[in-house]
Amino acid sequence: MAKYLSRLGYRVTVLTSRFSGEGSIEGAEAVVRTSDLLASSLNWRRRLVKTPTGRAATTSPPSRLEWVIVPDVSLVSWLPFALAAAGGMRRRDCPDCVVTTSPPQSAHLLGLRLSRLGIPWIAEFRDGWRFERPRGDWPLRAQRGLDARLERAVVRRADALVAVTRPIAEDLERRFGRRVALITNAFDPEDVDCGGSAADSLLDPERFSIVHTGSMGFTGATARPLVDALALVRDEAPEVGARLEVVFAGLLSTDEAALLERSDLAGIVRCVGSLERSTVLELQRAADLLLVVTEGPRRTSVATGKLFEYLATNRPILVLGSETEAARIVLSARRGIATSADDPRVIAGALRTVIGKGLSLIADQDEVDRYSWPRVAAAYAALVDEVCAG
């Protein structure tokens, strides 16, 4: 977004946490990375990320503090540092508009503070806040009440609201009676044709390669139904199983890594760990089928960033979760198919059909192009202008 907003003439400053990474961000005039307790030696979990060569990259389960601090741990680990940094930025060169994006939801409290100082503010929801929470609702009534009050304050105070998927937008409009702009994730067209062969060694040219990129097992989605479906394919159609490989690239929870690396599927499933972004993009373009795993009807609003990278590859996509926003996007663009998220036998049937017959798809290129960053950034720019003018 920063890259293409800057090309439209906007000066973009990114305020974030050191925990989110390091280095510059293309298009950003400045990147301010503040202290964060999660990025310090106080966070013992940070040392538990494991990335063995050629195997799954794993990390520990979420901290128990995530069930205690409302709305999230960043309220105490990052927000105090962010507020101080934002105050200094405001005094030096006051911004024309502030965009806060969640998760974490506590980032919106920074927007709430700056809005009270007279700065136009857009609150962007990349996940729902009280809607389809990844880990379920808070255990205590007091926590639920505080969380609801914070959400209400943010939604009512912000000058404009953005949601990245239609179900999130519809939920906010229904509960609060406010207009919500639908501005989705997107792909960068400049990534589409970048060459390279780093991914060649990761796939077997003699097999039908299904590829999943990105994290797995942290927000509730699990590959267990897929694993059970692969076992069915292996047992009931061994000639199909012999032609198949499923490759996972990205960070996994420890439970998900153990599930995917179980010995009885060693000839079919492989985990290759976390890869450089350029290699991930090459891997997507080299796949025979790209895989999206969702939680199905429990979280219909999910459409992750990798889905839009998938759209740009010209490779067919299989979405596990036919009721989800990810499925709607893929089907409307005629980029793939969707099936059950939790029925192994239905998933196995879909795999056998795709591997045996392939997918004859003629993509709707106009529908695909609407998810490119230049188009999406132009929509965001128009919203920024509207908020500033108001």
Decide if 193 contacts 187 (C-beta within 8 A): no
The pLDDT of residue 63: 65
pTM of the model: 0.91
Q: What are phi and psi of 210, to 5 degrees?
A: -100, 130
Distance of alpha carbon 89 from its chain centroid, rounded?
29
Distance (Å, whole) CA 67 – CA 180: 29
Q: What are phi and psi of 339, to 5 degrees?
A: -145, -175
As a residue count, the chain comes to: 390
Decide if 89 contacts 13 (C-beta within 8 A): yes
Residue 327: which of 350, 357, 358 has the closest Cα? 350
Strand partners, 337: 318
Residue 125: which of 54, 55, 57, 175 has the closest Cα? 175
| Residuewise pLDDT in 10s, the chain (390 residues) | 999 999 999 999 999 999 888 889 999 999 999 999 987 654 534 544 444 445 555 555 556 777 799 999 999 999 999 999 999 999 999 999 999 999 999 999 999 999 999 999 999 999 999 999 887 899 999 999 999 999 999 999 999 999 999 999 999 999 999 999 999 999 999 988 656 566 777 899 999 999 999 988 777 788 999 999 999 999 999 999 999 999 999 988 888 888 988 768 888 999 999 999 899 999 999 999 999 999 998 899 989 889 999 999 989 999 999 999 999 999 999 999 999 999 999 999 999 999 988 777 788 999 999 999 999 999 999 999 999 998
Helices (H) and strands (E) in the chain, counts: 16, 14
Decide if 107 contacts 100 (C-beta within 8 A): yes
The pLDDT of residue 195: 60
Distance of alpha carbon 289 from its chain centroid, rounded?
19
All structural domains of the chain, each given as residue ranges with its CATH number in brackets, are 2-49+63-186+372-389 (3.40.50.2000), 191-367 (3.40.50.2000)
Q: Whose structure tokens read 């350029």? A: 278
- What 8-state DSSP symbol labels residue 113? H
Decide if 60 contacts 254 (C-beta within 8 A): yes
Strand partners, 249: 213, 273
